[in-house]
Structure 1
């Protein structure tokens, strides 16, 4: 499997798992920061156990830490804390869309500071998935009386959740951007440090705002531990691998698949609904993300064939 295929495969699986965040969060009776801290901690323990089993734990000790490694982990932890909290105070569609303002932000930063070029095709597909997200959240809507309406407004009921969603998007964008630095660090070690510094950042926040576990029951603990394993260790480790092998714009295109998964879960399990325009948005997200994968892999095959012939 070449690096691009590996990157796209891990990103699709990661985005799918991340789409289940709202389902888990709404079954856990505690705050988003506690949930995110658990995801970081379980992830760190799992990845360390795997590295010990494989006999390469020394690579952690031998990794030269840099500010970008530490900051990327801290941004990941804090953005996930804000995101999980957002899913508890606003609709899943809103929460998922707002955190995914991050990939657009990271793409721009990577183009400016890392000189990563955005091809015309990738730019077009990224635009398509972003517009799809605008359809899903309802910023672009349609009615028979007013026609197509473009508006950005936050209801009083969802205001806190929407603001937390915006904060999560900003943090996610910084995480993706800083992840493009130090690609020399192995995926296992980078995952461990992401989990470690994410947990440290949330732990520091706990000193300012102590968490409460008073409402946690047996069911909540089961959901919390399961979320830590599947959407902490599983999804975030795969995201770290994808960020190592894909450019920011490529990562952004595929990452938006989570918006479709999140919105679908909201419809199926929580009675949330999608209009025809929002459904079109979902198709744009899927088409844009999958289009990036198909075109990239198709472009790779002729070059690989030419190398084999030589």
Structure 2
């Protein structure tokens, strides 16, 4: 399997698993920062177990820890904690919009600092995917009397929540951007450090805002640990692999598939309604994301043929 195929396939599975966050969270009676900490901790334990089984633990001590490795994990943990806190102090629409600005932010950073070129077609597809995301999550909706309605509203009362939401988006974008550094580090080792420093960052956050487990019952613990395995270890490990093999813009185009999966679960399992505009948004997200996959794979296959022809 070539690197692009591996990158796209792992990103699709990761985004799909991420879309199940809402399903798990609705069955867990605790705050989101505890959920985020569990995802990081379970992920670190699972990766460590794999390294022990493969006898690769010495790689952890031999890997040079640089600021980008430490910061990428910390940004991942803090962006998840900040997002949950944002939903408590501002509207859900604002919080969701701000965290999903992360992939676009990472694309801009990669273009500036890593000199990753963004083709005109990829830019168009990313714009279509982002617009579709706004339709799916309800930021842009349609009302028969008012027409198109944008539900975002920033005010002094929601300032703290909006800043936390902005921090979650910046943190998510920085995580995706920093993951493009240090390609010499293997994906399993990088995943371990992401989980480790993400858990440490949230642990520091707990000192400022202590969590509560008073309402946790047996069912909640089962759901929490399952979420830590599937959407912590599974989804975030695959995201680390994808980030190593895809450019930031390619990663961003596919990442928004998460919103479509989340909306689909809400419709199928919780009888949530689907508007025409949301359906159009889903088509834009899937079409744009899959379009980028097809284009990326075609370019990858054309390069060896061109090189052979020139030779």
Q: TM-score, normalised by structure 1?
A: 0.91
The whole-number CA distance in structure 1 between the counterparts of 2:98 and 2:266 is 15
Gaps of 5+ in 2: none
2:64 aligned with 1:64: yes
The whole-number CA distance in structure 2 between the counterparts of 1:45 and 1:300 is 35
TM-superposed CA distance for 1:307, in Å, is 5.0
TM-superposed CA distance for 1:171, in Å, is 1.3
TM-superposed CA distance for 1:165, in Å, is 4.5
Q: TM-score, normalised by structure 2?
A: 0.91
Aligned to 2:22: 22
Two-structure CA RMSD over aligned residues (Å)? 2.6
TM-superposed CA distance for 1:69, in Å, is 0.7
Q: Deviations over 1:87-135 (max 9, x none)?
A: 7899988765542210001111111111111111110100100111122
Alignment of 1:1-310 (within 5 A): 1-84=1-84, 97-150=97-150, 152-153=152-153, 165-307=165-307
**SS class of match (1:181):** coil
The whole-number CA distance in structure 2 between the counterparts of 1:163 and 1:270 is 31
**SS class of match (2:142):** strand
The whole-number CA distance in structure 1 between the counterparts of 2:273 and 2:96 is 15
The 1:64/1:257 distance shift into structure 2, 3 A limit, reads same
Q: Is the 8 A contact 1:25 1:87 kept in 2?
A: no
Q: Is the 8 A contact 1:93 1:263 kept in 2?
A: no
The whole-number CA distance in structure 1 between the counterparts of 2:165 and 2:272 is 18
The 1:88/1:259 distance shift into structure 2, 3 A limit, reads farther
The 1:86/1:262 distance shift into structure 2, 3 A limit, reads farther
**SS class of match (1:141):** strand
The 1:91/1:228 distance shift into structure 2, 3 A limit, reads farther
The 1:125/1:94 distance shift into structure 2, 3 A limit, reads same
The 1:208/1:150 distance shift into structure 2, 3 A limit, reads closer
**How many correspondences in the alignment?**
310
**SS class of match (1:55):** coil
The whole-number CA distance in structure 2 between the counterparts of 1:303 and 1:136 is 36
